[in-house]
Structure 1
Amino acid sequence: MAVSLSKGQKVDLTKTNPGLTKVVVGVGWDVNKYDGGHDFDLDSSVFLLGDNGKVTSDSDFVFYNNANGGNGSVVHTGDNRTGAGDGDDEQVKVDLANVPANIQRITFTITIHDGEARNQNFGQVSNSYVRIMSEDSGEELIRYDLGEDFSIETAIVVGELYRHNAEWKFSAIGSGYQGGLAALAKDFGLQIG
């Protein structure tokens, strides 16, 4: 039975699931009625952060064009350009036991590709969620449904895995950003041209 979280809640992941080392983080969404004539492409991205809350290098930014990070411990499985269909729209596999020691937080985000240019925002998106499953059993362990109405934001930090006393926990964040991926990347210490 999955633990269902609300914004701001934190929960143990590895302590309550002894032996768990490999997880799949799935994100999903539905696009509401949209007739602006452009594709509506949402992307999940992952930032591997050190103690200071920043990436240590460009390789700590994992997305569809840089699918592996953390010495192969974090793997993005691919880009879904439409969000059509049931189930997860994009997934990231995390091997918790092999995440480099300097990585303290693994932050999961969803952004709208070219959202500002296409006049798109998360007010046009519904049923967004993030969930964590055991890679071995497929069992859903944690789920966070983002029920908030993000009317003008083009990027959302949905949640993060973080180390705490040699265990991994998950925090449901649900923070919206204007400025899309570039704004997020800047906050996390990356320069995107």
Structure 2
Amino acid sequence: MSINLSKGQRIDLTKTNPGLTKAILGLGWDTNKYAGGGDYDMDASAFLLHQDGKARDDKDFVFYNSLIAYGGAVEHTGDNRTGEGAGDDEQITIDFAKIPPHIHRIGISVTIHDADAKHQNFGQISNAFVRLVDETTGREVLRYDLGEEFSVETAIVFCELYRHGTEWKFQAVGSGFTGGLAAVCRNYGLSV
């Protein structure tokens, strides 16, 4: 049975789900009926963060132009440029056994590509969610539905996964930014 989380909630992943070694983070969204400015190209990204909560360089950043980090520890399965269809629009896989010990947290964000030029924002997006699935069993472990609280934001940190001793936990974040991907990169310590 999947657990539904609210903004700010945290949950044990590997401790309460023994055997969870590989996870799929499925991210999804819809454009609402008042959407304008052309097609929406939404992009999922992962930031692999050191103990200070910052990425050091491009090897700590997984996105549509750099799909794999640390030999498959984190992998983006590919860019969906339209978001058409039901279910996950983009996916990021995580192999907890391959994550190097110097990585303490993984931030997962979704941004709107060329949002400013197209006059698009998350106020025009509905049904945004992230769900975590055990890759081995196919069982959905948890789900976080972001709700409709965003208006002018062009980027959102959906969630973070973080180490707690030898275990991994999940936090539903739901923190919005204006400035698109560049703003999230700066938040996590990367220069744009």
Same fold (TM over 0.5): yes
Tell me the equivalent position of 1:172.
Answer: 172
Q: CA deviation at 1:71?
A: 3.1
Instruction: Indicate the SS of the match to 1:59.
Output: helix
Distance 1:144 1:166 in 2: 24
Tell me the equivalent position of 1:151.
Answer: 151
User: In the alignment, is the contact (CA less than 8 A) between 2:123 and 2:148 conserved in 1?
Assistant: no
Alignment of 1:99-138 (within 5 A): 99-138=99-138
Alignment of 1:30-109 (within 5 A): 30-34=30-34, 36-109=36-109
User: In the alignment, is the contact (CA less than 8 A) between 2:43 and 2:79 conserved in 1?
Assistant: yes
Q: CA deviation at 1:34?
A: 4.8
Distance 1:36 1:6 in 2: 29
Q: CA deviation at 1:143?
A: 0.5
Q: CA deviation at 1:36?
A: 3.4
Instruction: Indicate the SS of the match to 1:116.
Output: helix
Instruction: Indicate the SS of the match to 1:136.
Output: coil
In the alignment of these two chains, the number of paired residues is 192
Tell me the equivalent position of 1:4.
Answer: 4
Tell me the equivalent position of 1:24.
Answer: 24
Tell me the equivalent position of 1:15.
Answer: 15
| Counterpart amino acid of residue 185 in structure 1 | C
User: In the alignment, is the contact (CA less than 8 A) between 1:71 and 1:100 conserved in 2?
Assistant: no
Instruction: Indicate the SS of the match to 1:14.
Output: coil
Distance 2:149 2:85 in 1: 22
Question: How far does the alpha carbon of each residue in 1:133-164 deviate from its partner, in whole angstroms, 9 at most, with x for none?
Answer: 01011100010000132100000000011000
Tell me the equivalent position of 1:188.
Answer: 188
| Percent identity of equivalent pairs | 59
Cα RMSD, aligned residues only:
1.0
Distance 1:128 1:37 in 2: 19
Distance 2:12 2:113 in 1: 32
| Counterpart amino acid of residue 112 in structure 2 | I
User: In the alignment, is the contact (CA less than 8 A) between 1:45 and 1:110 conserved in 2?
Assistant: yes
Task: Give ranges in structure 2 of 5+ residues lacking alignment.
Answer: none
Distance 1:84 1:13 in 2: 30
Task: Give ranges in structure 1 of 5+ residues lacking alignment.
Answer: none
Question: How far does the alpha carbon of each residue in 1:44-100 deviate from its partner, in whole angstroms, 9 at most, with x for none?
Answer: 011000011110221111011100013321010000111111010000110001101
User: In the alignment, is the contact (CA less than 8 A) between 1:48 and 1:70 conserved in 2?
Assistant: no
Question: How far does the alpha carbon of each residue in 1:99-141 deviate from its partner, in whole angstroms, 9 at most, with x for none?
Answer: 0101000110000001111110000000000000010111000
Distance 1:9 1:112 in 2: 25
